[in-house]
Homo-oligomer: A and B are copies of this chain.
Amino acid sequence: MGKAPSKSTSRASCVGPKALPLPIFDKLRDRRVILASASPRRKEIFATSDFYPEIVPSTFAEDLPHSRFQGRLADYPIATGAEKAMEVYERLVKDNEYDPPDLVISADTVVIFPPEKDTAEGGQFHGEISEVLEKPINKDEQARSLSLMAGRQCEVITGVSIVYPTIEAPGFKVQSISASTLVQFYDNSDETIRAYVDSGEGIDRAGGFAIQGLGGVLIEKIDGDYNNCVGFPSAAFWRWISELDADGVFDEAWRE
């Protein structure tokens, strides 16, 4: 026997009073929206839109082999993000079939060096191989990674997936987008890099830096969306789900 049905009206709205008066926010106001990520940065980015999803971190291991994505590394964070969103959606439905999520949002951010456009045939650094940079394993590895990138660009890609309920099996649908931002580093000296590494920041970040923190001084410019570098391409996301909504994609999922 299932648990007693939850009343959706007892839930605080995920849309704050200062959110833009756009159709998508009216639609989501009384919906159960989940962010499948423990990242405080993603939560903050949503808060700048006055949007407050429920936080349910995924337990997906995030261990897809990079080799499967060679030559199209941008697909790697999409694949990881989709797994995270599905894991959370299925778990929540199992926990309480009477209160399924209306929308689960996940994101996965990776740093690629050199940018794939530069290593593909004809690219600026043709002959090099683009790699996904993980969190550095220690300070020496962090310094090595930042030295490699000094005076050059890396590519920050966030894959975003959404899961929403459908009537047909398996009972949900997944859709994904990704966004890419190029980050140009200053030709940072070893002294500056060592100073940054010694600050302790960045050791827990892919690529070994945080643009929004002390690491900002290492970076000359970006080409792309800033929030995407921090961890979530907010503007592209809202545009995307507004379009999906206008196309009627959520009509079945969000029917009263």
Contacts and interface: CB of A to CB of B under 8 A. Distances in A.
Interface of A: 18-22, 48-50, 181, 186, 191-192, 195-196, 198-199, 211-214, 216-227, 234-236, 238-239
A20 B217 contact: yes
A217 B239 contact: yes
A59 B156 CA distance: 42
Given A21-B198, A195-B20, A216 B223 contact: no
Nearest to A213: B48
Contacts of A224: 221-222
Copies in the complex: 2
A239 to B, nearest CB: 7
Contacts of A192: 20, 22
27 contacts: A18-B214, A20-B192, A20-B195, A20-B196, A20-B214, A21-B195, A22-B192, A22-B195, A48-B214, A48-B216, A49-B216, A186-B239, A211-B226, A216-B234, A216-B235, A217-B234, A217-B239, A219-B225, A219-B235, A220-B225, A220-B235, A221-B223, A221-B225, A222-B224, A222-B225, A222-B226, A226-B226
